[in-house]
Amino acid sequence: MSKENILTAPFVKEMIEATQNMYQKGWDERNGGNITYLLNEEDVEKYLDLTEVKRVIPTIFDASKLANRYFLVTGSGKYFKNVHLAPEENIGLIRVQENGKNLDLLWGLENGAVPTSELPSHFMSHIARLSVDKEHKIVMHCHATHLLAMTFTHTPCEKELTRTLWQMCTECLVVFPEGVSLLPWLIPGTNEIGEATATAMKNTRLVLWAYHGVYGSGRDMDEVFGLIETAEKAAEVYTYVQAQGGVKQTITDENLWALAEAFGVTPRENYLEKI
């Protein structure tokens, strides 16, 4: 049976659209940023012969907990602005081998390209999120400008940072009621930062890397893009507020409790004053 053209696959179209939108927002300069998209075998087999392996790529992380799982990934050193122009060169579809130490390249990453150098961090975050949400699919990393800036100027406290973001835009508590996590500066692409991010991902879908960027996760591309976009908008408002002389009035904890009740969400425990 002939296969459909993979460039028509919804998951490839979503990846192309997301990378283009992220680049246009200024979140992913040069080759900054990466996305991994967990796929079901039945999603992939309509487009590819799963027995045809283009290349075997070794990985420095033991991904045996993700054995035989399929991922659409962005490539190492690839520019998001080029993904829509040449998808086959800038993204690829991989399968984790049974041993967890090698990847089968099934499509894309042409001309010897390899998956993002932050693949270990992504894999660890996928494992962590799957342990708390079986519907999890996406891990997205970018350098959202205003969130990045806040890690230089805001008190380095997860609770206080979360409260500030909740207070900047009414939607924030509804979109990320569990808050955001904050990591100290660590070397990207290492198992150390991957492990720290994965630990945080068990509690929040948003993790800020101080002086670097943000990691987001969720069940689909729109959820994760919207999650980062909402937090970034709040950080932008915070930037304007500080430039205008600082907060003089804001959304109160009483307001936030009423908002949580109205939208059926549960704020992170002990982050709001009891009313």
pLDDT in tens, 154-178: 999 999 999 999 999 999 999 999 9
User: Which residues are identified as catalytic?
Assistant: 118
Q: In whole angstroms, what is the distance from residue 252 CA to residue 23 CA?
A: 35
Beta bridge partners of 214: 142, 208
What per-residue confidence (pLDDT) applies to 1?
64
Residue 139: Cβ within 10 Å count? 31
Place of tokens 């499509």: 107
Contact 65, 100 (CB under 8 A): yes
Question: Residue 228's closest CA among 240, 210, 213?
Answer: 213
Which domains are seen in the chain, by residue range?
1-117 (3.40.225.10), 118-265 (3.40.225.10)
- Find out whether 143 is annotated in a ligand binding site: yes
Q: In whole angstroms, what is the distance from residue 128 CA to residue 136 CA?
A: 10
What per-residue confidence (pLDDT) applies to 130?
98
- Find out whether 84 is annotated in a ligand binding site: no
Half-sphere exposure of 72 (CA within 13 A, CB side): 31
What per-residue confidence (pLDDT) applies to 191?
86
Place of tokens 């800036």: 149
Number of helices (H), then strands (E), belonging to the chain: the values are 10, 9
- Find out whether 136 is annotated in a ligand binding site: no
Q: Enter the pTM of the model.
A: 0.95
**pLDDT, tens digit, for every residue of 114-146?**
999 999 999 999 999 999 999 999 999 999 999
What per-residue confidence (pLDDT) applies to 108?
98
The phi and psi torsions of 255 (rounded to 5 degrees) equal: -60, -45
What per-residue confidence (pLDDT) applies to 178?
98
Contact 9, 93 (CB under 8 A): no
Query: Which residues of the chain register pLDDT less than 50?
Result: none
